[in-house]
Amino acid sequence: MTTAQAQPYVLIIEGLISPPIAYRPLRQRLLDRGAAGVDLAPVHIHDWMRAGMTDFGALHARVATAIRRAYEHAGARPILIVGHSGGGVLARLAMSDTPYRGRLADVAGMVGCLVTLGTPHDLHLTDARWRHPGVDLCRFLAEHQPGARYAPATTYLTVASDAVRPRPRAVRRRTRNPVKLARNWFFRAVVGTPDPAGSDGVVSAAIAHLEGARQVTFHDVVHGVLGGPWYGDTVAVDRWWPAAVDAWRGALNERLDHLAPDGPVG
């Protein structure tokens, strides 16, 4: 099979308050579109809660192990990671070649392409009311793993949305749905006030892209996984998946060029 025909093995890394079971429909959609296989990282809601109260040590190790296992399942071929929301931050942490609080996984070489869906990469630049450990983690990554850190051997695709615009204050005051109010309060505390230029309902498009990455901004997609259409629904997957596969193949070609006897020296 040539690189142009190759299909990636995928690891999905889940976001905050979204259990692995919620990503099974996305897993099937990727398989239906030719993915060689799809693993779900064992990242659960209680893992995120513990990280938010203490640190990311346990999640760091768990995600690094999931990447190594997916790489083995792929036959030692670089994998494609799909990180939803905070899952994209966890992927970058595991890929880091700089220790974070004494911990190092350094698995970037196993990753052919990193796709992030609504990931708050620049969380440290927001007005998040709760300065939780995730804020410090994003600051660390911005300093030590900026932008498309491992390109072109590892390619990056950042997907965001500006579908949701802030409502006028008078309209917000009329909102009396306690569930909606609690949800809005929680996410504003965690990821900051939505940017006037638009967000996916949780993460502003302005903080969801990485410099040097291929960047896609939707205008009709929300954060998910409940409600929709979200990044993992068919209407969205059909738009970002071909770009992700193309980026992954580009990384493989780059690595092959560096291995060729007459190729560039790297």
Share of the chain above pLDDT 90, in %: 69
Q: Does some domain include residue 264?
A: no
In a domain, 2, yes or no: no
Closest CA to 231 of 30, 10, 56: 30
| Residue 48 burial (10 A CB sphere; 0-12, 13-18, 19+) | buried
Q: What is the pLDDT of residue 1?
A: 64
Q: Is the pLDDT of residue 34 over 80?
A: yes
Q: Among 132-136, 164-168, 192-196, 207-211, which range has the highest average pLDDT?
A: 207-211
**Which pLDDT belongs to residue 184?**
64
* Predicted local confidence at residue 263, as pLDDT: 44
| Average of per-residue pLDDT values in the chain | 89
Structural domain boundaries enclosing 40: 9-259
Predicted confidence (pLDDT) per residue in 83-111, tens digit? 999 999 999 999 999 999 999 999 999 99
Which 8-state DSSP code applies to residue 222?
A: B
Into how many domains does the chain fold? 1
Q: Does residue 192 lie within any of the structural domains? A: yes
Is the per-residue pLDDT at 72 higher than 80? yes
Q: Is residue 3 part of a domain?
A: no
Whether the predicted pLDDT of 264 surpasses 50: no
In sequence order, which ranges of 41-176 are alpha helices (DSSP H)? 45-53, 57-73, 86-95, 133-144, 169-173
Residue 170 has pLDDT above 60, yes or no: no
pLDDT above 60 for 200: yes
Residue 173 confidence (pLDDT): 52
Q: Confirm whether 49 is domain-assigned.
A: yes
Q: Does residue 265 fall inside a structural domain?
A: no
Kindly report, residue by residue over 116-135, the tens digit of the pLDDT: 999 999 999 888 776 788 89
Q: Is the pLDDT of residue 155 over 90?
A: yes
In a domain, 266, yes or no: no
Confidence class of residue 7 from pLDDT cuts 50, 70 and 90?
very high
pLDDT-derived band at 64 (thresholds 50, 70, 90) equals very high
As a whole number of angstroms, the distance between CA 169 and CA 167 comes to 6
Higher pLDDT: 192 or 20? It is 20
Q: Is residue 4 part of a domain?
A: no
CATH number at residue 180: 3.40.50.1820
Question: Is the torsion defined by CA of 105, 38, 55, 195 positive or negative?
Answer: positive
Cβ-contact 194, 128 below 8 angstroms: no
What does the pLDDT read at residue 250? 97
